[in-house]
Amino acid sequence: MPEETTSIDYVMEAASGPHFSGLHLDAQFLSSPRSLSSSLLADSIKQPFVIGVSGGTASGKTTVCDMIIQQLHDHRVVLVNQDSFYRGLTAEESERAHEYNFDHPDAFDTEQMLECVEKLKQGNSVHLPIYDFKNHRRCSESFRQVNASDVIILEGILVFHDQRVRDLMNMKIFVDTDADVRLARRIRRDTVERGRDVNSVLEQYAKFVKPAFDDFVLPSKKYADVIIPRGGDNHVAIDLIVQHIRTKLGQHDLCKIYPNVYVIQSTFQIRGMHTLIRDKEISKHDFVFYSDRLIRLVVEHGLGHLPFTEMQVVTPTGSVYSGVDFCKKLCGVSIVRSGESMENALRACCKGIKIGKILIHRDGDNGKQLIYEKLPNDISERHVLLLDPVLATGNSANQAIELLIQKGVPESYIIFLNLISAPEGIHCVSKRFPAVKIVTSEIDVALNDEYRVIPGLGEFGDRYFGTDD
């Protein structure tokens, strides 16, 4: 290899990409049965982003969905319409269709819809029924095949009605359009596309559509994360939504599952530093130098999650600057020994911060035993920054968190800072302590048979403190 290609500058420049760790899963790794449990792997690799779009009839739901799909452009997106799950009427019922309430939740086969969306979420393709609005029936011969995708949009008047359906959604949008505009559009659409006459549309609207809107659709608006006034005319709202979806798609799937997991925004610099500290050939000096830089970034990010109070100061120009005051009741707690490598960065950011210690003995890989702890007496009043550079199984972290909680620290006051997290560790900590925030700089692929993080960086403490010779 030519000399310049091994230089640090070269590595820093060549490193690129989002904040996932650098190991690409290859067939060999995936086929190793003990490398990683398959459900965990599925969780970590594929979690489509599910968007629910609701709103009154003819509010512009389908139009808004089409616009989102067009703008997302480079992502695989599928649209699932609640209409597909209308229960078909028998010939006899069809004769008296004007007496049937198509706007009541019972008009839909919600169980079937749930099953379809769950399958899509798990990465399977599904066959959706095709509904004919003219005959009020499902087409018996054909289905629409929908493949698993990055984004699933579920659209319909009552998609927020059932809690189980809502729970499948990562984002809920309500399209809010004036009732008179909706009625005018509905008359035009139903007469042109659905084989109705104006009188029947008005009669159905007064008898069923409006009352069901008031009873079921409008009350479900409260579940929306975003309300779009004026539907498809609201380009600003649609742009913002598309931008948000793009950001979410760029995030690690575990951040979608656990909202308290934060991966610092990746840059070429960060990727480059990770490339260096993971390299087994790097000198001890460089390992410490680049680890320190990364630790500092994680610490700064973690501090950003602390509460603040607003305050004003007067600048030398005599003007008032409206700013914020840092939270003062803080404490660092390092999990000995590798956590101690993060103390300097914390001290550099928080002048005079108290730092406690917890030592947990690793006895095998599941049995962890608390050996030593020294914590400030008033720790229960402090926000705690828990320090350990590598989150592997999550057992030590959980033990440390449990101790802090026993000492009276509220769960939501704990921020766990690390450089590298294994998905297993994130699952373990976040499931047990959902209010604890985890801030990391990269999420790696998995743990191996020996509970070591893959690709990881080996024994951090030994490499940092020079005891690996």
Ligand X SMILES: Nc1ncnc2c1ncn2[C@@H]1O[C@H](COP(=O)(O)OP(=O)(O)O)[C@@H](O)[C@H]1O
Which tokens go with 244? 């948000």
The three-state (H, E, C) secondary structure of the chain, written as one string = CCHHHHCHHHHHHHCCCCCECCCCCCHHHHHCCCCCCHHHHHHHHCCCEEEEEEECCCCCHHHHHHHHHHHHCCCCEEEEEHHHHECCCCHHHHHCHHHCCCCCHHHECHHHHHHHHHHHHCCCCEEEEEEECCCCEEEEEEEEEECCCCEEEEECCCCCCCHHHHCCCCEEEEEECCHHHHHHHHHHHHHHCCCCCHHHHHHHHHHHHHHHHHHHHHHHHHHCCEEEECHHHCHHHHHHHHHHHHHHHHCCHHHHHCCCEEECCCCHHHHHHHHHHHCCCCCHHHHHHHHHHHHHHHHHHHHCCCCCEEEEEECCCCCEEEEEECCCCEEEEEEECHHHHHHHHHHHHCCCCCEEEEEEEEECCCEEEEEEEECCCCHHHCEEEEECCEECCCHHHHHHHHHHHHCCCCHHHEEEECCEECHHHHHHHHHHCCCCEEEECEECCEECCCCCEECCCCCHHHHHHCCCC
Instruction: Tell whether omega for the bond before 337 is within 30 degrees of 0, i.e. cis.
Output: yes
Q: Which of 60, 67, 80, 136 binds ligand L45E5XJ5 (CB under 6 A)?
A: 136
Picked from ligand X, ligand L45E5XJ5, Mg ion, none, the partner binding residue 231 (CB below 5 to 8 A depending on kind) is ligand X
Give the span between the Cα atoms of 352 and 420, in whole angstroms.
Answer: 27
Residue closest to ligand L45E5XJ5 when measured from CB atoms = 57
Q: Is position 253 an interface residue for ligand L45E5XJ5 (rule: CB under 6 A)?
A: no
Give the span between the Cα atoms of 359 and 343, in whole angstroms.
Answer: 15
Find the shortest distance in angstroms from Cβ 77 to ligand X.
17
Find the shortest distance in angstroms from Cβ 103 to ligand L45E5XJ5.
5
Q: Which of 11, 21, 103, 460 binds ligand L45E5XJ5 (CB under 6 A)?
A: 103
- Cβ-based nearer residue to Mg ion, 212 or 445: 212
Find the shortest distance in angstroms from Cβ 185 to ligand L45E5XJ5.
9
Size of the site for Mg ion (CB under 5 A): 1
Q: Which of 21, 44, 62, 266 binds Mg ion (CB under 5 A)?
A: 62
The three-state (H, E, C) secondary structure of 197-227, written as one string = CHHHHHHHHHHHHHHHHHHHHHHHHHHCCEE
- Cβ-based nearer residue to Mg ion, 62 or 260: 62
- Cβ-based nearer residue to ligand X, 237 or 270: 237
Find the shortest distance in angstroms from Cβ 174 to ligand X.
11
Picked from ligand L45E5XJ5, Mg ion, ligand X, none, the partner binding residue 102 (CB below 5 to 8 A depending on kind) is ligand L45E5XJ5
Picked from Mg ion, ligand L45E5XJ5, ligand X, none, the partner binding residue 205 (CB below 5 to 8 A depending on kind) is none
Find the shortest distance in angstroms from Cβ 79 to ligand L45E5XJ5.
12
Q: Is position 157 an interface residue for ligand L45E5XJ5 (rule: CB under 6 A)?
A: yes
- Cβ-based nearer residue to Mg ion, 62 or 291: 62
Q: Is position 83 an interface residue for ligand L45E5XJ5 (rule: CB under 6 A)?
A: yes
Picked from ligand L45E5XJ5, Mg ion, ligand X, none, the partner binding residue 298 (CB below 5 to 8 A depending on kind) is none
Find the shortest distance in angstroms from Cβ 222 to Mg ion.
22
Q: Which of 102, 258, 287, 290 binds ligand L45E5XJ5 (CB under 6 A)?
A: 102
Q: How many CB atoms neighbour CB 363 within 10 A?
A: 9
Find the shortest distance in angstroms from Cβ 53 to ligand L45E5XJ5.
10
Q: Is position 58 an interface residue for ligand L45E5XJ5 (rule: CB under 6 A)?
A: yes
Q: Which of 209, 261, 263, 436 binds ligand L45E5XJ5 (CB under 6 A)?
A: 209
Q: Is position 57 an interface residue for ligand L45E5XJ5 (rule: CB under 6 A)?
A: yes
Find the shortest distance in angstroms from Cβ 234 to ligand L45E5XJ5.
18
Least Cα distance to 440 among 258, 250, 264 occurs for 264
Q: Which residues bind ligand X (CB under 6 A)?
A: 55, 57-63, 185, 189, 231-233
- Cβ-based nearer residue to ligand L45E5XJ5, 102 or 413: 102
Picked from Mg ion, ligand X, ligand L45E5XJ5, none, the partner binding residue 461 (CB below 5 to 8 A depending on kind) is none
Size of the site for ligand L45E5XJ5 (CB under 6 A): 11
Which residues of this chain interact with ligand L45E5XJ5, rule CB under 6 A? Answer: 57-58, 61, 83, 86, 102-103, 133, 136, 157, 209
Which residues of this chain interact with Mg ion, rule CB under 5 A? Answer: 62
